[in-house]
Amino acid sequence: MLIPAIENAVKALPLFTALQKPIFNAGYTHDSFSVKDEIPDGPFSLCEVSRPTDLLAITSVSLSKRPVYIDDLASVNFYGEFQESFKGNGTIELTVNCGSHCEEYGYPKDTPGANTSFTFCDMSEIEQPLQGRKATCPPEKGPTIITSLVYVLPMFLRAPLIDKGYYNFTFDAKTDEGERIYCLQTEVCLRWEDEKKNQLYPPSSWRDFVKSCSESDGIIES
């Protein structure tokens, strides 16, 4: 079963190429499904499919802005080391679904979401200072800093998504040959910084549900 509203929103993501493709960030909840290991300093965790053999060994993730709200623009920095070099531009598959909150929304557990693909090199500004390389992709073996812009799309909070608050975002990056670069996920509760906008949604639906997004487990803090 595919959630139509999420499917339509995901299909619209490539329209934002000027923003280096959006990545959605917010607070991490420890009851997120398919969580393996939480990564220090940021709201991301490794996926269950992640392995020590993944090409990028991530040590930490930092956000330039906290908290992050709907319609915010910030940057995310990945720190780590490429264990091997690779050729080609690679891809990132973004999957959006209801995560560990599917049953709260009236959907079966593990309900499939929607997905779309981006080019890894297009959304990743890669610096490898020890190798004297800046903003180059594909990368070489060695330490690296990857910077991407963070933009939380307002469309995820527009009708008909008035009865939803939490979303699970999974970013699965692979080479052109299908070798995994990394796989990260985060489960977030989307809301506006301006509480007046949160109050525009009908009572007993998303507006009431989003009240459960406290400063410790929602998009307010990570």
Q: Render the chain in DSSP notation, one character per residue.
A: ---HHHHHHHHTGGGGGGGTS--------TT-TTEEEEPTTSS-EEETT--TTSSEEEEEEEESSSS--TT-EEEEEEEEEESS---S--EEEEEEE-GGGTGGGT--TT---EEEEEEHHHH-EEEBGGGTB-S-SS--SEEEEEEEEEE--GGGGSTTGGG--EEEEEEEEE-TTS-EEEEEEEEEE---SSHHHHTTSPTTTHHHHGGG--TTTSTT--
Domain that holds residue 164: 4-210
Is 219 a domain residue? no
Is 39 a domain residue? yes
The pLDDT tens digits for 167-208 are 788 889 999 999 999 999 888 777 778 878 777 766 544 555
**Confidence at residue 42, expressed as pLDDT on a 0 to 100 scale:** 65
pTM for this structure?
0.72
Q: What does the pLDDT average to over 199-222?
A: 51
Is 61 a domain residue? yes
Is 128 a domain residue? yes
**Confidence at residue 96, expressed as pLDDT on a 0 to 100 scale:** 82
- Domain count for the chain, please give it: 1
CATH of the domain at 139: 2.60.40.770
Is 220 a domain residue? no
Is 221 a domain residue? no
Q: What does the pLDDT average to over 50-68?
A: 86
pLDDT > 70 fraction of the chain, expressed in percent and rounded: 64
79 pLDDT band, cuts 50/70/90, is: very high
Residue 7 predicted with pLDDT over 50: no
Is 217 a domain residue? no
The pLDDT tens digits for 91-144 are 999 888 877 777 776 777 777 778 889 999 988 889 887 766 666 788 989 999
Is 218 a domain residue? no
